[in-house]
Structures are given as C-alpha cells and as structure tokens.
C-alpha cells in the first residue's frame, strides 16, 4: 500500500490496522521493499513477514522482475490447454489476487522470464531474457524505484538465488547493484535524489534447516516425515544455516501466507508439499521467517527479530 492510500478495511491483519505505530526517527512511516524474480515468489518467500508488517502499518512494496512467462503449470488441476495457452495473463491475474490478499503495492519491472534450462549440456538462455542482461544496466529501473520509494529495508535473494534459477541469481545481482547505484549522489541524477538503503537482507526462509525442523516435528507427533525425500537430496548445510541473523516471529500470519500462495493456482498444488506440515505443528516448530542481514547502516546488532531493528522507534502492539 503506498503512503498516499488510506488503510484498507479488508486488510488481512490479525488485530486490524494501526498505521501510525511504525515510524522512523523522523516520524515517517517505515518502508519495506521486497525484490522477487517471478509472480508467486512474494507469497512463497516472506509472505507472513509481509502480512505482519502491513498489519503494523509498514508500507510494503513488492517488485517483480519478470512475468514468469516461461514457467510451467505446477498444479495438475490447472494443467489445461486454455490455461497453458494464456499462462502469462493467468499469472498476472494470480499476482493481482495475491497482492490484494497481502495488502501490498506491487511493481512489475518488465523483464522477460529466462526459464529454467534443463539438459546436459544446458541450452542457452533466450536472447534478451532477464538473466542474460548486464546487471549494471538492468538495475536502472530498480534504482529509480529505490530513489522514489526510499525504503528503509530491502530484501532479495542471496548469491545462490535461494535455488539456482537464472532469474533468481540475476535478481540478487540486479538488486545489490541497484542498492549500490541508488546511493551514489552523482550517478544518474535523472533517476532522482540518491538514497542509501539503511538495511538489506537476503531471504533465507526456505532452507533445508527449516524443512528438517518441520519434518522432525511431524515425526514427534506420530506423522510421517513429509520432507524425507527433499532432505535426502538437499541435506542441511550447517554453515549456510549459520548465516541467518534475523528471525521474524510471524506465525499468526501463516494463514494469510497460505491464502496468498493458493492465489497462484497454476504454481501451487493445494495437496502438495507446501501444505504437508499441519499448520498447528508449523506454528510451534518454526514460527519465524528468516533472513541474513548483509548491509547495515544502523546501530542494530545481530541476532535480531525485527527487520527494522535500529530504525523503528518502538515495537508496536497489534491485537
């Protein structure tokens, strides 16, 4: 929701709107910018955090770098000819629905999906697709957005992309380049006044450590481990888990996250792995979404439980 809009009466918060509670030292509303590769990434990575901060009055905006045009239909119930033939438009409509559920503003960066190449050797990426572009040049539209929105916090993927999709890796590169360029006073002044983003985080929610934690919690309740196969192929990397600096408690917003996920019906199978762990177990076993603080121009120290630590004046009470 942009700062010029009035609070929505149908916002999916737990305790209702409290738009004046989260401000910085100048009394300005806190601003959070998520940068994602495709429609649905905003719902599968950090959506409960988004819903929590929206409920607390933070201005949250999602930038979606591509339209997901080369994605597949991953929900068998939606794998129909009329859906496949119009997948780009369908995915845009899904994004509209997810955006409204989360209560956010969303900006399309307008780049073309690169697809996920398969084979040995891997085929080349489509000419002109997002992942083939020079990150320094591709960052320019995002520089303009950062300078216009002046976010206190930006989140994106780590250098692995979270998983090795070319567009996710490129999203990392472009975001970090845009943050750097946006702060340089004499660089591209036509894109607006320079803005140094106070804090930048890598999105670390979907780690093997989390899947392991949920798996063990299910087994402790006498259920089968839903993620045994996943963990056999992608075991816990303790060094990678140790990179997590910030765990945001947001279990009260997992239902909102799930509704946003289900809005992406072509991508999310309601009977699939996303929902294999019962919600009551998940809320206890892993009640946070997790991040790595990688740029910090505040006095905040880690570990943290708030992306706005060092920026926000006070912790709000919602509910």
160 and 215 in a common domain: no
147 and 100 in a common domain: yes
59 and 35 in a common domain: yes
Question: Whole-prediction pTM value?
Answer: 0.92
116 and 220 in a common domain: no
User: What is the CATH number for 187?
Assistant: 3.40.50.10320
* Residue that is written with structure tokens 């945001």 in the block: 248
- Residue 21: the pLDDT is 75
- Residue 77: the pLDDT is 95
CA distance 304 to 197: 18
Task: Evaluate whether residue 1 is within a structural domain.
Answer: no
180 and 126 in a common domain: yes
Q: Tell which residue, 194, 168, 52, has the closest CA to residue 116.
A: 168
Domain count, the chain: 2
Binding residues: 38, 41, 168
C-alpha distances in angstroms, 301 versus 20, 121, 288, 291, 296? Answer: 25, 45, 18, 14, 9
183 and 154 in a common domain: yes
231 and 90 in a common domain: no
Q: Tell which residue, 207, 228, 203, 220, has the closest CA to residue 285.
A: 220
What percent helix, strand, coil does the chain show, rounded to 5? 40, 15, 50
Task: Evaluate whether residue 235 is within a structural domain.
Answer: yes
CA distance 121 to 245: 37
- Residue 316: the pLDDT is 58
Ordered per-residue pLDDT tens for the chain, 319 residues: 333 333 333 333 333 444 447 999 899 999 999 999 999 999 999 999 999 999 999 999 999 999 999 999 999 999 999 999 999 999 999 999 999 999 999 999 999 999 999 888 889 999 999 999 999 999 999 999 999 999 999 999 999 999 899 999 999 999 999 999 999 999 999 999 999 999 999 999 999 999 999 999 999 999 999 999 999 999 999 999 999 999 999 999 999 999 999 999 999 999 999 999 999 999 999 999 999 999 999 999 999 999 999 998 766 555 4
- Residue 5: the pLDDT is 32
Structural domain that includes position 230? 208-243
- Residue 8: the pLDDT is 36
121 and 221 in a common domain: no
Q: Tell which residue, 180, 166, 164, has the closest CA to residue 65.
A: 166
Task: Evaluate whether residue 112 is within a structural domain.
Answer: yes
Binding residues for Zn(2+): 38, 41, 168
Give the angle 161-258-46 at the CA atoms, nearest 5°.
35
217 and 92 in a common domain: no
33: β partners: 61, 154
164 and 97 in a common domain: yes
- Asked if residue 94 lies in contact with residue 39, where contact means CB atoms within 8 angstroms, the answer is yes
List of E strands, the chain: 31-36, 59-66, 105-111, 153-156, 199-203, 246-249, 288-296
- Residue 313: the pLDDT is 78
Task: Evaluate whether residue 73 is within a structural domain.
Answer: yes
- Residue 317: the pLDDT is 56
- Residue 314: the pLDDT is 66
179 and 75 in a common domain: yes
224 and 98 in a common domain: no
């Amino acid at each position: 929701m942009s700062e010029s809009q009035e609070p929505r009466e149908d916002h999916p918060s737990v305790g209702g709107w409290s738009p004046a509670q989260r401000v910085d030292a100048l009394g300005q509303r806190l601003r959070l910018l998520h940068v994602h590769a495709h429609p649905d990434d905003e719902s599968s990575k950090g959506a409960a955090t988004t819903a929590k901060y929206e409920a607390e009055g933070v201005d949250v905006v999602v930038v979606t770098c591509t339209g997901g045009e080369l994605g597949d239909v991953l929900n068998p119930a939606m794998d129909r000819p009329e859906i496949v033939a119009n997948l780009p438009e369908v995915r845009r409509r899904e994004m509209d629905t997810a955006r409204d559920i989360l209560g956010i503003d969303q900006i399309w960066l307008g780049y073309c999906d690169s697809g996920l190449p398969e084979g040995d050797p891997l085929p080349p990426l489509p000419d002109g697709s997002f992942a083939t572009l020079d990150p320094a040049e591709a960052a320019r539209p995002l520089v303009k957005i950062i300078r216009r929105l002046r976010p206190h916090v930006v989140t994106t993927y780590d250098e692995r992309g979270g998983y090795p999709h070319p567009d996710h890796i490129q999203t990392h590169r472009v975001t970090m380049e845009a943050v750097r360029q946006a702060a340089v006073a004499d660089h591209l002044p036509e894109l607006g006044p320079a803005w140094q983003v106070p804090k930048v985080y890598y999105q670390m929610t979907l780690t093997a450590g989390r899947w392991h934690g949920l798996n063990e919690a299910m087994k402790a309740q006498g259920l089968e481990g839903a993620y045994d196969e996943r963990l056999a192929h992608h075991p816990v990397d303790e060094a990678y888990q140790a990179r997590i600096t910030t765990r945001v408690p947001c279990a009260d917003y997992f239902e909102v996250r799930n509704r946003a996920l289900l809005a992406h019906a072509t991508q999310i199978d309601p009977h699939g792995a996303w929902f294999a762990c019962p919600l009551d177990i998940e809320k206890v076993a892993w009640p946070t979404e997790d991040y790595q603080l990688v740029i910090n121009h505040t006095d905040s120290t880690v570990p943290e439980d708030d992306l706005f630590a060092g920026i926000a004046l006070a912790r709000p009470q919602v509910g």
